């Protein structure tokens, strides 16, 4: 959001809500003395507030008809707006009050698409049940762009693939995710899926630019292979569909294969093993309100045991 647009909304010429309230009360009570009694002020204090409001607006707002204070034409126009102003202010105070009481909050979470699809849904579901008024927005992208958004305070908390760095950032590793190879059921695979062995097959990979692709490229390079994939895609689900259609095999993070049985893939371990490490990233000066702390704690509780259980199931 561009907050610069709000810069000049309020200035010294803006309405004073106390003055507006005094004016409305005088009209409602029919006199300055009645308004003063209702507001717990002296009559001169109420008169001063109304005079200051009239000076601010450049017109008389109240006239006496007999012994009763009545609105002028301008005053009647202002009364029409006063109720809406009061309702808006009350709603704003109520909303901010819920934040102050810790019953609501907003968390801007950034992560990769794979974690968003396969890791976060149950976690976010538990958070919503525990904190039903918590507003969570999720932004997906590659590690560099997500980390940059955290640095610029456009995102509160990120779960990204290492490596990443930043002088203002607190980076806490929380989870290891092993890579696996997937292939159509009818594809003949060698006993050991080394970089050299995979290079003999049509391979699909993530598109370049993210840490996940860099880790896979480094794994192939370590095996002496400069792999040219037959296809690079930006979506893990798209890669899985292509593999299911028989277009080749793929190297994917293990968490993306929780539901591979529905596609009938072969799922095999890599030799040597390859894994990526996911970390929580946030600014060191970020204040943890109740909702953000709950989200942070839930992500910190992600366990390697849970991921290994998922990987073991996928490889069965």
Helices 32-39/43-57 angle, 10° precision:
110
Instruction: Name the pLDDT band for 295 (thresholds 50, 70, 90).
Output: very high
Please report, for residues 158, 172, 275, the alpha-carbon distance to residue 161 in angstroms, rounded to integers and kept in the order given: 10, 11, 10
What radius of gyration do the chain's Cα atoms show? 31
Residue 102 region by backbone torsions, left for phi larger than 0, else alpha for psi between -120 and 50, else beta: left
Q: What's the distance, CA 126 to chain centroid?
A: 16
Residue 107: is its pLDDT beyond 50?
yes
- List, for residues 72-93, the tens digit of each pLDDT value: 999 998 988 887 887 787 777 6
- List, for residues 184-204, the tens digit of each pLDDT value: 999 999 999 999 999 999 999
**Rounded Cα–Cα distance for residues 29 and 63 (Å):** 14
- List, for residues 235-264, the tens digit of each pLDDT value: 999 999 999 999 999 999 999 986 655 567
Do strands 203-206 and 266-269 pair parallel, antiparallel, or not at all (unpaired)? unpaired
Say what the pTM is: 0.65
- List, for residues 216-230, the tens digit of each pLDDT value: 999 999 999 999 999
Residue 173: is its pLDDT beyond 80?
yes
């Amino acid at each position: 959001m561009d907050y610069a647009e709000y810069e000049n909304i309020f200035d010294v010429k803006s309405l004073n809500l106390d003055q507006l309230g005094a004016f409305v009360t005088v009209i409602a009570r029919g006199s300055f003395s009645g308004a003063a009694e209702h507001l717990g002020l002296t009559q001169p204090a109420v008169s001063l507030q109304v005079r200051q409001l009239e000076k601010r607006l450049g017109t008389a707002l109240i006239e006496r008809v007999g012994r009763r204070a009545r609105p002028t034409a301008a005053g009647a126009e202002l009364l029409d707006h006063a109720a809406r102003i009061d309702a808006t202010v009350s709603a704003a105070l109520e909303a901010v009050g819920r934040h102050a009481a810790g019953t609501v909050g907003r968390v801007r979470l950034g992560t990769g698409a794979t974690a968003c699809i396969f890791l976060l849904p149950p976690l976010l579901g538990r958070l919503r049940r525990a904190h039903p008024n918590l507003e969570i927005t999720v932004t997906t992208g590659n590690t560099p762009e997500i980390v940059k958004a955290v640095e610029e305070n456009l995102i509160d908390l990120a779960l990204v693939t290492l490596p990443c760095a930043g002088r203002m950032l607190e980076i806490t590793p929380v989870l290891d995710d092993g890579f696996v190879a997937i292939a159509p059921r009818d594809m003949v695979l060698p006993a050991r899926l080394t970089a050299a062995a995979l290079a003999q097959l049509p391979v699909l990979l993530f598109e370049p630019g993210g840490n996940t692709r860099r880790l896979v490229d480094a794994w192939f390079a370590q095996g002496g292979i400069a792999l040219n994939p037959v296809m690079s895609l930006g979506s893990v689900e798209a890669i899985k569909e292509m593999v299911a259609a028989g277009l080749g095999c793929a190297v994917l993070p293990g968490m993306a294969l929780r539901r591979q049985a529905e596609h009938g893939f072969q799922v095999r371990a890599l030799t040597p093993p390859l894994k990526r490490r996911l970390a929580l990233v946030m600014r060191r000066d970020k204040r943890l309100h109740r909702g953000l702390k709950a989200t942070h704690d839930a992500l910190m509780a992600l366990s390697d045991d849970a991921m290994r259980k998922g990987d073991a199931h996928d490889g069965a």
